[in-house]
A and B are shown apart, each in its own frame.
Chain A
Amino acid sequence: MNPSAQHPRSQGRAPATIRSMIFLILLLTPGMLKAQAVIEGHVPLPKTRTAPVVNKRYEIVTQGGVLSTNPPLAVVYLEGVFPAPATPPVAQLIQKDLTFVPSLLPVQVGTKVEFPNLDDTYHNIFSYSLPKRFDLGRYRANETPVPSQVFDVPGLITLRCDIHEHMRALILVLATPYFVMTDTDGHFRLAGLPAGRYVLKAWVDSKTTLERPVELTVDGVLRVDFP
């Protein structure tokens, strides 16, 4: 909501008390103000996993086979009740060099995720996770429309490829628009937040979600280091 829209200049100056009351009401209404709070902090990350070995036993033509190591990352998000986005967000999770990129993708509920294939071979993405079961079948590069799915139930989705057994990725579907991924050292900065009281969560892996109650103030910068 834009306060200036409520007070067009053509109406002239309002009394000072009224202006003060309007300001106070807007200040005390979380989510109604333009988001401004910031949380910075750190999440302890698990140790780096070994990159998998590509199974090439029955592929007579093999190329490379060295996959990059995906360092563990965490997703930090603000839990609360927030309005759904006016237009469904769109995200991409690509398949390149027999790997999902990124290997962890946080999205808001209602997001449409596209899965473009950038390899010169077939991929077959599927998920048996309870929040979203699907199987896109075998599709190649430049397929139009790009195979996609809308993720409308919060939860963790494990993506796999039916052809390349080493390929795995996670989509974390969140009921909040306020989330961010840590860097590889576990540091994060979550900006543009509405003032108010919330629970800040850090998803580390499928078994570990850390949380901390937080109180955000307008223009405030809060430091949260998870244990």
Chain B
Amino acid sequence: MKLRRITIICFVAAVATAAGWAADDWLDRVDEALNVSVLQDSLRARLSGSVALEGYHFQPPAPGLINAPGNDLFNPRLVVFLDAQYQSNLYAFAQARVDRGFDPGAGGARLRLDEYALRFTPADNARFNLQIGKFATAVGNWVPRHGSWENPFVTAPLPYENLTGVWDIEPVPSDLVLLQWSHVRPGLPARVTAVEKQRRVPVIWGPAYASGAALSGAFNRIRYALEVKNASLSSRPEAWDAVLVGLRHPTFSGRLGYAPDERWNLGLSASTGPYLRPLAAPTIAAGRRFDAYRETVIGQDISYAWHHLQVWTEFYEARFTIPRVGNVDTFAWYTEAKYKFTPQFFGAVRWNQQLFAAVSDGAGGRAPWGAELWRIDLAPGYRFTPHTQIKLQYSLQHEENGPHRFAHTLATQFVLRF
């Protein structure tokens, strides 16, 4: 099965390569045709997007946010963006996807509207921008490259995808149970593994497309962003929709950035908000407020870019307040580098690590409340044309106290953008 799917991906890539040079000009014409303008050019809109074919081979249970039985997963994805600009003051965008779930899974094809937002920029000096809608978080520095074309890897960095022992549908009843929930055990039936993975949350769930409003801007080399959203950074995609979840328990997040020049970008981020889903409310002790149980995140990020080299690093300290347990802390970080060896061939390497604070083990001792791990990701990539590229990724993960001492993941992704 694995070989067949990877063969399909390679075949498509090869065909695209052969047809690429002829199709390139045609895709540019399609791009021009997907730009429209009305009201004497005051209102302009553009449709764009990508088609991605992803293949994964892993040791069960599936790594990160992937939720699929067995060892392999094939995940095709169509992404369509709409960008619209009215004069210089109003900008709107939307992102729709058809795939097997926001996080790669074994389900059928689904259509979702993942993002939609309206941004108001009152003056051309960019000091104030107000944005409302459902959109990616301003925290950290990974979001601008989370798309399949921009991301040099197939998967996300560890803080954005490693599921912890914290559940959002039910608070863990004790330290001891938290230790048992610290990881998804191998060898469970596929159905049980799927349920286990569906209950857990990471520090940040991917780009965190929650709903709300954001104020952002720049004063010389200082940049800021403040956002109020309906769900915490760790919240799952089902919680991001304002219509379903509402804004009764807001999460406040922000980032303060400083860019001394174009090469360097430094940022401090913070976020706090309730991480339990509304359906967990009945399990909270009487008299306790739902939004007293929060996820609080402090983050630091730094990036550097010069000619063909790009480097990004992020550190996240996260605290979950759990009923009957108290505060549990985790620290996750990664550093990632990408280098273009030739105009078309590039490579990336990423070191990820996550550590957990100790809690009582019920026997008079203390133990980390999660499976401490490190992971190294290696990813060569090749751009056949300005519209097509393929990436390969190998990940080696080592868990100190988890199910696998070492786990291997192979992934490949072919992307055509238009």
Q: Could you list which residues of chain A lie within 8 angstroms of chain B, going by C-beta atoms?
A: 49-66, 69, 120-122, 126-128, 130, 133-140, 158, 160, 165-166, 168, 206-207
B25 proximity list for chain A (CB < 8 A):
206-207
Write out the residue numbers on chain A whose beta carbons fall within 8 Å of the beta carbon of B107: none
A59 touching B144 in the complex, CB below 8 Å, given contacts A53-B45, A53-B84? yes
Since A133-B343, A138-B305 are in contact, a sample of 13 more A-B pairs with Cβ atoms closer than 8 Å, ordered by chain A residue number, is A53-B46, A55-B81, A57-B136, A60-B223, A62-B121, A66-B88, A122-B262, A127-B343, A135-B308, A137-B308, A139-B307, A165-B48, A168-B28
A62 touches B343 (CB 8 A): no
Please give, as numbers and ranges, the residues of chain B lying within 8 Å of A127 by CB-CB distance. Answer: 343
A-B pairs with beta carbons under 8 Å apart, 19 shown: A50-B35, A50-B44, A51-B35, A53-B83, A53-B84, A56-B83, A57-B93, A59-B144, A60-B216, A61-B218, A64-B124, A66-B85, A122-B262, A128-B385, A133-B344, A137-B308, A139-B307, A168-B28, A207-B25
Q: Is the interface of A mostly helix, strand, loop or mixed?
A: loop
Return chain B residues, CB-CB under 8 Å to A130. Answer: 21
Closest CB-CB distance, A64 to chain B, in whole Å?
5
Question: Does B277 sit within 8 A of A, measured CB to CB?
Answer: no
- Tally the A-B contacts, defined by beta carbons under 8 Å: 124
How far, in angstroms, from A55 to B21 measured CA to CA in the complex?
A: 25
Whether B307 lies near A137 (C-beta < 8 A) is: yes
Query: Chain B residues with Cβ under 8 A from A140's Cβ?
Result: 261-263
Q: Chain B residues with Cβ under 8 A from A60's Cβ? A: 129, 138, 214, 216-217, 223, 225, 255
Q: How far is the CA of A168 from the CA of B255 in the complex (A)?
A: 32
| Whole-angstrom CA separation of A137 from B93 in the bound complex | 28
**B125 surroundings in chain A (CB, below 8 A):** 63
> In the complex the two chains form, is A138's CB within 8 Å of B306's CB?
yes
Q: What 6 pairs across the A-B complex have the smallest Cβ distances?
A: A137-B307, A135-B343, A60-B216, A63-B126, A50-B37, A53-B46
- Chain A residues with Cβ below 8 Å from B223 are 60-61
- The A-contacting residues of B in range 48-100, CB under 8 angstroms, are 48, 81, 83-85, 87-88, 91, 93, 95
Assess whether B41 is interfacial by the CB under 8 Å rule: yes
Which of B36, B143, B305, B386 sits near A122, CB closer than 8 Å? Answer: B305
Whole-angstrom CA separation of A126 from B225 in the bound complex: 32
A53 adjacent to B44 (CB under 8 Å): yes
Closest residue of A by beta carbon distance from B93 = A57
CB distance from B337 to the nearest CB of A (A): 14
Q: Which listed residue (A62, A139, A206) contacts B126, Cβ 8 A?
A: A62
Q: Could you tell me the distance between the alpha carbons of A51 and B83 in the complex, rounded to whole angstroms? A: 13
List of B residues within 8 angstroms of A62 by Cβ = 91, 119, 121, 126, 129
Contact A54/B144 with A60-B138, A122-B305, A138-B305 known, Cβ cut-off 8 Å: no
Q: Check B5 for interface membership: any CB of A closer than 8 A.
A: no
Q: Kindly list chain A residues whose C-beta atoms are within 8 Å of the C-beta of B238.
A: none
The distance from the CB of A187 to the nearest CB of chain B, in whole angstroms, is 24
A101 to chain B, nearest CB (A): 18
Residues of B within 8 A of A49 (CB): 32, 35
Q: Quote the shortest CB–CB distance from A147 to chain B (angstroms).
A: 9
Per the bound structure, the CA–CA distance linking A127 and B344 in Å amounts to 10
| B43: nearest chain-A partner, CB-CB | A53
For the complex, is B199 an interface residue (Cβ under 8 Å from A)? no
Q: Tell me the smallest distance from the CB of A71 to a CB of chain B, in Å.
A: 12
Would A65 and B91 count as touching, CB distance under 8 A?
Answer: yes
Bound: A152/B91 CA distance, A = 42
Contact present for A57 and B83 (CB under 8 Å): yes
Q: A residues within 8 A CB of B146?
A: 58
Residue on B nearest A166 in the bound complex, by CB: B46
Report B-chain residues with C-beta under 8 Å of the C-beta of A58.
136, 143-144, 146
CB-defined contacts of A69 to chain B, threshold 8 Å: 41
Q: Does B404 contact A (CB under 8 A)?
A: no
Q: How far is the CA of A58 from the CA of B147 in the complex (A)?
A: 10
A52 contacts across to B, CB distance below 8 A:
31, 35, 44, 46
